[in-house]
Amino acid sequence: MPSPYRAIFAAPGTKGFSAAGLIGRMPLSMMGIGIVTMVSQLTGRYGLAGALSATLAMAAAVVGPQISRLVDRHGQRRVLRPATAIAVAAVAGLLVCAQQSAPDWTLFVFAAGAGCVPSVGSMVRARWAEIFRGDSQNLHTAYSWESIVDELCFILGPILSIGLCTAWFAEAGPLIAACFLVAGVCWLTAQRGTEPVPHPREHHTGRSAMGSRGLQVLVATFVATGAVFGSVDVVTVAFADERGHKAMASLVLAVYALGSCLAGAVFGLLRLKGAASTRWLVGVCAMAVSMIPLQLAGSLPFLAVALFVAGLFIAPTMVTTMALVEQHVPRSKLTEGMTWTSTGLAVGVALGSSAAGWVVDAAGAQAGYLVSGVSGTLAAAVAFLGYRRLRRPVPHREGLAADERSEQQQHLA
């Protein structure tokens, strides 16, 4: 492992919570695509499959920030375990209803309940931020590492989820995803030494982290970016299915994630200069441009190459986004702020997967990639319009950090 990564893992407890985060984040890449594959296997209806995946993502978008807000106030252990129990129970109900051919409305009810799944990635990044507070270089490397972990999930997750659904039984992918969630959350919350100190209600202003104008820009852009991801997932499954190789969709999506993983690994080694906001804008625009070759894909090998190139721009943009969140959100609301970016992605995934599902049903898989192209263009437009907000320094950021350090010292005393 390169020396910058060795340096961050020298801190006690970091290997344990990062490993737990890897397991706990597997459902991020397994659940949505598993539901799409399961429902398409059982019913052949990509529109219904995309709508259920969208329902799950929308529910997570609504509930996720509220869970993270409770975590900031009460701590990870007290909040994450009950939330996980609710999510797993809902997943179980969804699988039973799908297997028994229950009415469609029951599927939507349980898909919405499964949205109580916590944002494990935000919990892990909050631990890194607590350990490397004020150390921008190590924090950059830590965020890059977590981006690599994200992409490892997206490499392994679709392969497991689609492979299990097609080779074992239709419900296997979401079922195993729920098992990963339970194992990861239980292991993470058992590690109390690295858990960020909670900030009780009296230390909060009552305002959401979304009061930050910079965070508003990041979240709005990520809605369009999420639509790119959601549409690519659904359309790729349909694209492979049309060519008689549905199981190959998992490998193609894994190549997409591999490109991002490699880019994230290199990005974490760099000592960056200049404004993070400028790097972020360039990354968003590059992701938009990378959607153009997908419109020309006529075979699975060509599609895999195009998605690999597109993936190269994902991780650096995500890493820079987390650095900007840390700059624009008070530390007492950092977990919530990070979750809002995930919420933006979730909303976008919901919109993109739903729109792509209906386009595929109406006009075929090739036309579905138009949803990805339009979404990427919209993300670039929003990023340009909000760029100035990200360049402005956050007022009183230093004072807030000092006050929070004082509160933490009092808590420990």
Q: Which residue, among 305, 317, 316, has the nearest Cα to 255 in the 3D structure?
A: 305
Mean pLDDT (whole number) for 139-145: 84
Cα–Cα dist 93/100, whole Å: 11
DSSP annotation string for 319-387: HHHHHHHHHHS-GGGHHHHHHHHHHHHHHHHHHHHHHHHHHHHHH-HHHHHHHHHHHHHHHHHHHHHHH
Q: Give the residue-averaged pLDDT of 246-252.
A: 80
pLDDT band at 75 (very low <50, low <70, confident <90, very high): confident
Domains within the chain, CATH numbers bracketed: 14-408 (1.20.1250.20)
Under the banding of pLDDT at 50, 70 and 90, the label for residue 207 is low
Tokens of 277: 């906001």
Mean pLDDT of 189-207: 71
Q: Is the pLDDT of residue 142 over 80?
A: yes
Residue among 337, 342, 317 nearest 325 (CA)? 337
Q: What is the pLDDT of residues 168-185, one digit of tens each?
A: 887 888 899 999 999 999
Structure-token pair, residue 236: 């790729």
User: Of 48-52, 184-188, 355-359, where does mean pLDDT reach its minimum?
Assistant: 48-52
**The tokens of 269 are what?**
């080694």
Pairwise CA distance, residues 341 & 148, whole Å: 17
Tell me if the pTM is above 0.85: no
Q: What pLDDT, on a 0 to 100 scale, did the predictor assign at position 20?
A: 92
User: Is residue 169 classed as helix, strand or coil in its secondary structure?
Assistant: coil
Please give the average per-residue pLDDT across 406-413, as a whole number: 40
Is the predicted pLDDT of residue 204 greater than 50, yes or no?
no
The pLDDT of residue 392: 64
The mean pLDDT value for 97-120 works out to 86
**Average pLDDT in the 59-67 region?**
82
Task: Give the pLDDT score at 302.
Answer: 92
